[in-house]
Amino acid sequence: MQLSCFIIDDEPLALGLIESYVAKTPFLKLTGKFHSAIEATQAVQQLSPDLIFLDIQMAELNGMEFAKLVPEQSRIIFTTAFQQYALESYKVNALDYLLKPFGYADFLQAANKALQWFEINNKANFEKQSEGKNGSIFVKSDYKLLQINTKDIAYIEGLKDYVKIYLDDNPKAIISHTTMKTVEEMLSKQNFMRVHRSYIVNTDKIKEIEHNRIVFGKVRIPISDSYKDAFQEFLNKKMIN
């Protein structure tokens, strides 16, 4: 999973340091950096970053005031030299509070805490939104939440830390940063089957099987040895001899 993030700090040295920390953290993607909260107000509404590294003591609009303006789905890690705001910070969607000066180890610990929060939250959202064959799921793609009817899914392909969801008669996949395991757990086992470490198929959409491969138009999905017995059992229940 990858988290989009903003950095907001009116100290150029602090801004540059946090940017360097983000750059060497694989699951963080910097989508905005700002020298003041005022400068970030419009962008935060338009882009809705997952995570905001936010200074508190800034001119015109301080971090605590800005925190009340961020979208509901965004979370905050405060980065400040002032300890007295720690208690107040947890009232405004803050996940952690880094006291300057802090090193990369402390930064990474806070970032990992955020990653864990989003993974748990995304899994809960999948569970809430998934209602089996006739239900739907919400998938985060390109900084948007897309509602997908599970009955429209033909197959799902896994590629490292993201998945590609292919819908009926739509060659362009919906790409989301999540894991195959998370998606598999949220889909109805009556209608979806893992046939390969990289593929989940909607069994209702299977129209042709050729040479141990499931045919979806021009795409041939292999059935790996690990899943062959389970798939054959599925076929035996459906096959007319």
Cβ–Cβ < 8 Å for 10, 59: yes
User: 173: which DSSP letter?
Assistant: P
pLDDT digit string, tens, across residues 109-122: 999 999 999 888 77
pTM of the full predicted structure?
0.55
pLDDT value, residue 143: 76
pLDDT value, residue 206: 93
CA distance 217 to 196: 18
pLDDT value, residue 124: 65
Architecture of the 132-238 domain: Beta Barrel (2.40)
Instruction: Give start-end residues of each CATH 2.40.50.1020 domain in the chain.
Output: 132-238
pLDDT value, residue 71: 87
pLDDT value, residue 132: 45
pLDDT value, residue 106: 96
| 202 CB-side CA count, 13 A | 18
pLDDT value, residue 127: 57
State phi, psi for 60 to the nearest 5 degrees.
70, -60
**What fold does the segment set 3-124 form as a domain?**
Rossmann fold (3.40.50)
Q: Which two tokens stand for residue 37?
A: 């909260």
Residues of the chain with pLDDT under 70: 84-91, 93, 124-134, 241
Instruction: Give start-end residues of each CATH 3.40.50.2300 domain in the chain.
Output: 3-124
pLDDT value, residue 181: 87
CA distance 94 to 91: 7
